[in-house]
Structure 1
């Protein structure tokens, strides 16, 4: 009875010592604000290539299918950045490295529209992908470390919501500079105004060229805005490093910080392989939709105007952001498994509908773009929370998520580009395939997780039994347990 009382006192004391005071809340708010700004910048990076893909293809003098290799470069960079995250975070100050990475990413974005060589473009985007991969995995790992698996669920969803904010803004930033970029690049594109599905919400644009009088392509300004924002983010993180913000937050939350040991690779190898495949299809489908919907809507039989193309691209991110924002609450009160199952039902049904009716009915494509992105939004953060239930993902294993997403976009986005050159709307069939396979892989993940839990329980029971036998032997020998 006294032991139980002491335990209750210890728990109460722990709650009191971990309850943040006003100063702690300020430091936490400053850190979360910085992470939010960085995620908006990350969203600008991953989204700006979508609505400007036709322009980039024109800059390097190639087709959409060929210029789509930049997505492979970006994905390879994300993979490399995710892999080195654990090493960097153990050795260097996180705030300073986040700041430097933001500067580099801003530089990569700023340089992109000036490039006229395809492979130089791929290399620059790859380099941006490396620092994006580090920022993506590093800030996510930091949240898991400081708040732990359970308390971080809402924060993880909010973390992924902020990238949707930046991704939503990118098409709107690019829109004023895109009005004359579609007609000459779409494969076999006839006059869009002759198609029954053609819609336009803007008045015709006068006959300006894609370059100003000085010879500078107007799209440069969109990239300068995105790059400049990331330079501001870089300065902000350097300030947080100077103020030792992370150190002060960790000192105030020492009892909450993730303290689970990492399982051996042998124990979780199959689970990690399945998680990697899960994110392969999850991010490939999501990225293919947001990267190609602008070009598909313009170059397929839908024949949207350039303005409507940017609007439907922005609509994707409105739905995506709404889903991520809803996930902040949903993942806090519902199990990740249930959320993910509902998501897969939603995205699969949405893609079936758009594949059947979308090309012949513009209204269907508009509606499904929102619903698909809404349900797709919580597949990624739900997977992070789901995996973290079964093993510690805040340390060396954090790169697994980045590895899956990088491989998916590296392989399937160029495939999407090839399909686009043959028949633009057929990209939607690729996304449907990703959705179905993603759901199937999650089922395998659930089975493997159940096997791991049973194995751990069996091992724990065996250890407890061994301990009891040792204690009995000590008593029989006249010894007392210390």
Structure 2
């Protein structure tokens, strides 16, 4: 529940940038195309945070890492409205991106570790809370708090001149860092920053809570899954999430500006259009929690790709029709909703996902979030009369629609015999490791389901041991009957019960076992 609440804050943090984009431009006295590089800063931080989180989550306490990431996100987000320089705003967005990258990677890995094969609906619930936060962000920014920015400031923000505006004489500190004139901008970021700070406190409480060692035993008991083209599949998933997340974040961030500048909507209408996208996005993810229990992840991905392609095509054709914009935006948001969690659930069926693998997916998403918004910002700056955001959305939908059939073909390719034998060996190691954890932590188990699981493992281990022991005893008896005089004086060591160090004498083709070993057995 704490991770779900943290992802709600993540959605609020990501979604607040779109409706406050023009306000941030006014705050730093730049136009929209000039400050589009805040997406680069946030995505670069997101990229670095994803890589860092992928390594840390395999080595450190999950709750501590998530708590520290929420603390950093709270600080960075709260300082964003105070930035009076574009470069400082980019830096703050980068700090915020590092923390959210760690949170995104860690949240997905933690849900997979807890639920494993049953993780599909729980992943949908996790990303539903993110979408819910993104849906509430425009309401918080524009509808609940309102807009106090004068119309002339918006005219300044929309000027085509890319140079910094002339400011009245002021102290250097005030020019770089100061209280924003728009108090609603300040309150919007302050509320979200306070919320993430509360999440930090919850994670710290969980950090000091004692966690039984049975979680390690359950992790060791999991079978190691792999595919024939594992590296190629990971690379294609990297590209797949690059286009998907890039299109999702870009549309959610630029649809407000697109509605006001290209479609001729008022601010309240554009904010409503933005909320329509995130609202259907969140609603469909909420329904996907139930759908994931009866539909395969691959089926949900195919349905999402078809819906994204159809709706983005309608947006391109009817780019100035308000009714079509509302309907197609709602369909586009619903179609984009389940792709990311379904993609993680789908690949988990074919290979084991750990921190590094999850980090690779989030890195691809971060690169998409970094590159695609910049492309759209450049298109809006150079060709203000063209709906660049819609063209990019259509291209991304085509790319994801083509990539998934290729990934499915690679994932379902039959394994080589050597890979199958290696996987069986890994499963046996996991079984032995599970038995060891069961012996050490027997007193910590209180659930009947866990006890029954360990009893089955112990029973299988006892059967394996008895079979091997009986085979050794029978072989030693045969040897003793056939050539008792050729027993070597070099006896078996007690530390290696199933290996022999006897010296063969005469013409005996076998290594006899000592008599006292038979008696002990």
Q: Same fold (TM over 0.5)?
A: yes
- Alignment of 1:396 with 2:356, yes or no, is yes
Where 2:352 maps in the other structure, the secondary structure is coil
Give the direction of change, closer, same or farther, for the CA distance of 1:254–1:70 in structure 2 (3 Å limit). same
Q: Which has the higher helix share?
A: 1
Does the 8 Å contact 2:148/2:184 carry over to 1?
no
1:163 Cα deviation from its structure 2 partner = 0.4
Whole-angstrom distance in 1 between the partners of 2:29 and 2:204? 39
Mapping 1:60-75, distance limit 5 Å: 60-75=28-43
User: 1:295-444 maps to which residues of 2 (within 5 A)?
Assistant: 295-300=257-262, 302-359=263-320, 361-421=321-381, 422-423=383-384, 425-444=387-406
Q: Which residue of 1 aligns with 2:204?
A: 238
1:76/1:406 contact within 8 Å kept:
yes
C-alpha deviation, 1:139, in angstroms: 1.4
Specify every segment of 5 or more residues in structure 2 that has no aligned partner in the other structure, as ranges: 161-178, 425-470, 476-508, 512-521
Q: Determine if the alignment matches structure 1 residue 283 to structure 2 residue 254.
A: no
Query: How many angstroms apart in 1 are the aligned matches of 2:99 and 2:423?
Result: 44
Match of 1:205 in 2: none
Is 1:166 the counterpart of 2:128? The answer is: no
Going from structure 1 to structure 2, the CA distance change for 1:112 and 1:141 (only over 3 Å counts) comes to: same
Distance in 1, Cα, partners of 2:375 & 2:250: 10
2:97 equivalent to 1:129? yes
Contact conserved, 2:105 with 2:359, CA < 8 A, in 1? yes
Is the 1:67–1:118 contact (alpha carbons within 8 Å) kept by the matching residues of 2? yes
1:141-290 equivalence runs, <5 A: 141-148=109-116, 150-175=117-142, 176-178=145-147, 180=149, 183-184=154-155, 187=158, 215=181, 217-244=183-210, 247-248=211-212, 251=214, 254-255=217-218, 259-261=222-224, 268-290=230-252
Rounded Cα–Cα distance in structure 2 between residues aligned with 1:348 and 1:413: 19
Residue 198 (structure 1) aligns with: none
What displacement does 1:237 show? Answer: 1.0
Structure with larger RCO (C-alpha < 8 A, sep 6+): 1
Q: For residues 85-125 of structure 1, what are the alpha-carbon distances to aligned partners after superposition, in whole Å with 9 as ceiling and x for unaligned?
A: 23222333221221121111011111011111111111111
Distance (whole Å) between structure 2 residues aligned to residue 255 and residue 235 of structure 1 = 28
Q: Is the contact between residue 77 and residue 193 of structure 2 (CA under 8 Å) also seen in structure 1? A: yes
2:46 corresponds to = 78
2:452 corresponds in structure 1 to: none
Report the Cα distance in structure 1 between the residues aligned to 2:221 and 2:387, rounded to whole angstroms: 46
Determine if the alignment matches structure 1 residue 107 to structure 2 residue 75: yes
Displacement after TM superposition at 1:262 (Å): 7.0
Q: Distance in 2 between matches of 1:262 and 1:111?
A: 44
Q: Structure 1 length as normaliser, TM-score?
A: 0.78
Deviations 1:403-424 (A, max 9, x none): 1101111111111111122226
Deviation at 1:332, TM superposition (A): 2.1
Q: Cα deviation per residue 1:383-436 (whole Å; 9 max; x = unaligned)? A: 111111111113321102111101111111111111122226231111111111
Change (3 A) 1:65 1:215: closer
- Write the distance in 1 (CA, Å) between the matches of 2:198 and 2:407: 40
TM-score by length of 2: 0.73
Deviations, residues 227-257 of structure 1 (Å, cap 9, x unaligned)? 011011111111111223xx24x63795477
Shift of 1:373: 0.5
Which whole-Å CA distance do the structure 2 matches of 1:88 and 1:117 have between them?
33
- Gaps in structure 1 of 5+ consecutive residues: 1-32, 190-212, 465-470
Cα drift, residue 365 of structure 1: 0.6
Larger Rg: 2
